[in-house]
Amino acid sequence: MKKLSCFMVMIIAAILLTSCGSTLNKSTKVINMVMEDHESNAYEFPAGEYYAYQFKGDQPAYGFDEELIIEQLVSKGIPVKNLWYKAASSSCVPPGSDVAMTVMVEAVLIVQLKEANDHLVQMQFERTTAPSMGSCAYRVKRYIFQPR
């Protein structure tokens, strides 16, 4: 009888430890991705703490995969509220236009948190008090997160 109770206690403890670990590692999830236009009208970012990703000079901004950054943020348990991403491009096409303006559009990635978190600085982010998507921000992906 003692062996059976000890075995049951070990099974229950293993289940609890496994479930706690998964909750700690994945504190947020992406619930929606929407396209936004930050250029045609003045865009107001919601209140919060903001961090801008610092693309390095030798890092290719074309073909950048923002979903890898999202996976890293989620796996580290960083409580993200929103993430905005505008891809790099060599042209800019306003909505409803057939004419592409030849210009170098820089990639921009902004993360919004409820409160400051120094872990982002270790991930190539810099804190900003004036988030901006820069020029030609007609097609900005906004990833909306929800706490689990």
Give the tens place of pLDDT for each residue, 99-113.
Answer: 999 998 999 999 999
Domain, as residue range, for 77: 28-147
What pLDDT, in 10s, does the model give residues 50-86? 999 998 875 556 778 899 999 999 999 999 999 999 9
| Domain assignment of residue 20, yes or no | no
| Domain assignment of residue 21, yes or no | no
State the alpha helices, DSSP H only, in the chain: 2-25, 66-75
Judged against a pLDDT cut of 70, whether residue 129 lies above it is answered with yes
| Domain assignment of residue 10, yes or no | no
Tell me the sheet residues that pair with 145.
30
Mean per-residue pLDDT of the chain: 82
Confidence of residue 36 (pLDDT cuts 50, 70, 90): very high
pLDDT reported for residue 10: 47
| Domain assignment of residue 11, yes or no | no
| Domain assignment of residue 89, yes or no | yes
**Based on the structure, what is the number of domains in the chain?**
1
Inter-CA distances, 140 with 40, 104, 106, 132, Å: 12, 16, 12, 11
| Domain assignment of residue 112, yes or no | yes
Inter-CA distances, 142 with 48, 66, 94, Å: 15, 11, 18
| Domain assignment of residue 82, yes or no | yes
